Amino acid sequence: MAEPTVWEQVLDPAHRADPYPLYAELRRTPVSRQADGSYLVSTYPEVLALLHDPRLSSDPSHNPQFAAAMAEQPEDRPPSFLLMDPPEHDRQRRLAMRHFGPPQAPRRVAGMEPRMLEIVTGLIDEMAGKTRIDVVDELAYPFPVSVICELLGVPVEDRPRFRKWVDMALEAINPGVDPQVQQQKREEAGNELFNFISELVERHRQAPGDDLLSAMAADDGPEGRLSTEQLASTGLLLLIAGHETTVNLISNGVLTLLRHPDVLERLRRDPDLVIPMTEELLRYEPPVHFIPIRTALDDIEAAGTTIPAGSPVTLLLAAANRDPQHVAEPDRFIPDRPDNQHLGFGSGIHLCFGAPLARLETQVALTEFARRFRNPRLAEDPPPYRPSPILRGPRHLAVDVDAG
């Protein structure tokens, strides 16, 4: 049997705990062609340039691996703006964004901080008396799920219903999974989730609340409203993107702090350290390791290699974040690293929409973790990881604490 390629090793769950040496190997060839005709890009300047290059499309119908599935997509189930190019991407993003942040909605995220603290305090209070906790199940998952549901206006009682479908939808985007199985999972999870969110949009149209879905449903701005289907796609995107990634940033954050007890101690003494530290976490242990679905619309020259028109391209954000040509001592976690330019939230027109929310949630969770737990230490290192090589983070994070 042939030796696995470096990329096959990255995808192999056996390397999930520490893919960074493999990324260092990939960076030796900044743009590399894989046997299936796709291209991997792993160095900072090239990833950054391609994130800003209009010749690289986010629309999967241009991608030979996904075109057939996209052609079968029912018309009443349009893709979200994450998978669109301008001008429609820009229009739908603007229509959603105006209700999410300044200038129109300056308090939507910042105004949630007291509520975030209340949720985290409640979750930590529930762990009182325990000497072993699971940071993923008891804090890092329930916290962002509660926040995004409250923000969107998803009722508490509906929350358990969508977890199963979300897990299935995420499995469907894992590279290396048989395309037919991917398609089947995508369809099954997609149908359930789409019906769920469409019903919710309808309820919000009829009885609007103070939430983001209601605000988007009632928009009478100069650019017109999103259709019910577009609104459902956007709501679904926000629901999934709004928690699956933040879970990993919080869990990776706790893991990194427990591996660097001196930093945990500094954070206890100086809670403001959490602001630059969150940026360093997004560089050092980013929740999104790579962006898999991009396609070259034209021949593109990068680092002396021509990516031919029509080729699928994968941008390795996590490898670029540790490119020694871009950042000094890339494998060291420096919580107050100056001038930290990471790609943890991507860059360019698809730059993460939810970044201000994710930053604030992580800052609240990590500050309270440091403040409230006595003598926390890892019960298992490395912890077991979730299967996805893209959205990378621990499945469980067992931590021993002194009973308080």
Choose between 19 and 354: whose C-beta lies nearer to ligand HEM: 354
226 binds ligand HEM (CB under 6 A): no
Choose between 77 and 403: whose C-beta lies nearer to ligand HEM: 77
365 binds ligand HEM (CB under 6 A): no
249 binds ligand HEM (CB under 6 A): yes
* Number of chain positions touching ligand HEM (CB under 6 A): 24
CB 331 within 8 A of CB 285: no
3 state SS for the chain: CCCCCHHHHHHCHHHCCCCHHHHHHHHCCCEEECCCCCEEECCHHHHHHHHCCCCEECCHHHCCCCHHHHHCCCCCCCCCHHHCCCCHHHHHHHHHHCCCCCCCCCHHHHCCHHHHHHHHHHHHHHCCCCCEEEHHHHHHCHHHHHHHHHHHCCCHHHHHHHHHHHHHHHHCCCCCCCHHHHHHHHHHHHHHHHHHHHHHHHHHHHCCCCCHHHHHHCCCCCCCCCCHHHHHHHHHHHHHHHHHHHHHHHHHHHHHHHHCHHHHHHHHHCHHHHHHHHHHHHHHCCCECCEEEEEECCCEEECCEEECCCCEEEECHHHHCCCCCCCCCCCCCCCCCCCCCCCCCCCHHHCCCCHHHHHHHHHHHHHHHHHHCEEEEECCCCCCECCCCCECCECCCEEEEECC
346 binds ligand HEM (CB under 6 A): yes
* Stretch 65-84: interaction string toward ligand HEM, x if CB under 6 A: ----------------xx--
Among 47, 213, 288, 360, binds ligand HEM (CB under 6 A): 288
Choose between 287 and 335: whose C-beta lies nearer to ligand HEM: 287
Q: Which stretch binds ligand HEM (CB under 6 A): 119-127, 326-334, 349-357, 394-402?
A: 349-357
287 binds ligand HEM (CB under 6 A): yes
Q: Which stretch binds ligand HEM (CB under 6 A): 4-12, 185-193, 239-247, 299-307?
A: 239-247
Q: Which stretch binds ligand HEM (CB under 6 A): 12-20, 39-47, 121-129, 236-244?
A: 236-244
290 binds ligand HEM (CB under 6 A): no
350 binds ligand HEM (CB under 6 A): yes
136 binds ligand HEM (CB under 6 A): no
Choose between 147 and 273: whose C-beta lies nearer to ligand HEM: 147
Q: Which stretch binds ligand HEM (CB under 6 A): 161-169, 219-227, 268-276, 350-358?
A: 350-358
Residue 329, judged by CB atoms within 10 A of its CB (0-12, 13-18, 19+), counts as exposed
Choose between 88 and 402: whose C-beta lies nearer to ligand HEM: 88
Among 177, 303, 352, 398, binds ligand HEM (CB under 6 A): 352
93 binds ligand HEM (CB under 6 A): yes
245 binds ligand HEM (CB under 6 A): yes
Residues forming the site for ligand HEM (CB under 6 A)? 58, 81-82, 93, 237-238, 241-242, 245-246, 249, 286-288, 291, 344-346, 350, 352-354, 357-358
